[in-house]
Amino acid sequence: MNVKIIGCTSDPEKLPAMAATLTHSKIKPEDLDKISEKEQSAVLEQVLKLGHTSVIEHASFTFAISDVSRSLTHQLVRHRIASFSQQSQRYVNLNEPNYVIPPSIGKNKKTKKAYEETMGIIWDHYNRLLELKIPAEDARYVLPNGTCTNIMVTMNARSLLNFFELRCCLHAQWEIRLLANKMLQEVKKVAPMIFKNAGPSCTTKKICPEKKKNCPLYPK
Q: Determine contact, residues 148/68, Cβ cutoff 8 Å.
A: yes
65-116: pLDDT as tens digits = 999 999 999 999 999 889 999 999 999 989 999 999 999 999 999 999 999 9
Positions of the chain with pLDDT under 50: none
Whether residue 157 sits in one domain with residue 51? yes
Q: Which amino acid is at 52?
A: H
Whether residue 159 sits in one domain with residue 79? yes
Identify the CATH number of the domain in which residue 176 sits: 3.30.1360.170
Global pTM? 0.90
DSSP 22: H
DSSP 59: -
Q: Taking the alpha carbons of 161, 164, 169, 173 in that order, is the dihedral positive or negative?
A: positive
Whether residue 155 sits in one domain with residue 69? yes
Whether residue 138 sits in one domain with residue 37? no
Q: Can you give the pLDDT at residue 64?
A: 98
Q: Can you give the pLDDT at residue 43?
A: 86
Average pLDDT, the chain: 92
Q: Alpha-carbon distance 48 to 43, whole Å?
A: 9
Question: Is residue 167 flagged as an active site residue?
Answer: yes
Q: Which domain holds residue 39?
A: 2-84+149-204
Whether residue 6 sits in one domain with residue 114? no
DSSP 32: G
Whether residue 78 sits in one domain with residue 111? no
Q: Tell which residue, 27, 63, 75, 57, has the closest CA to residue 174.
A: 75
Catalytic residue among 70, 140, 158, 167: 167
